[in-house]
Amino acid sequence: MKLCMPTMGEGGMNEKVYNHFGSASYFTIFDDETHELKVVENNNSHHSHGACQPLEAIAPYNVDAVLTNGMGKRAVQKMNNGGIKVYLLEDDTVADAIDKFAKNGLVELTVENACGGHSH
């Protein structure tokens, strides 16, 4: 399974997961089968409200789940429509997020409990 986390830097496993998916500078992608870690630039981080294109940014990496501290309702819906589940974190590092996911310790983020806007 491939997990994607929004990050502001390229610090790998020690990087903090950023507080809002679409505004992150990078996406850190972890393959739990191969343990390969890849950091890719988010070329859509400066989008206007409601114009986030999350699937476009991560589609080439065949992501199965996104682990994030926040994501808007429309972005969650786009992810879900693309077959990607979204899980909510609380200020974790990439390593912590992966560990919590592996232990089924995360709550799924849905349209009902997603952020209502950039100011939440």
pLDDT, averaged per 10 consecutive residues of the chain (120 residues), comes to: 95 92 90 96 62 71 92 86 92 94 93 62
Which of 117, 112, 108 is closest to 47 using CA atoms?
Answer: 117
Please report the domains of the chain, with CATH numbers, ordered by start residue.
2-108 (3.30.420.130)
Q: What is the pTM of this model?
A: 0.86
The pLDDT value recorded for residue 118 is 45
The per-residue pLDDT for 47 is 44
Evaluated on CA atoms 4, 101, 81, 69, the torsion sign reads negative
Give pLDDT, residue 21.
84
CA distance 98 to 1: 11
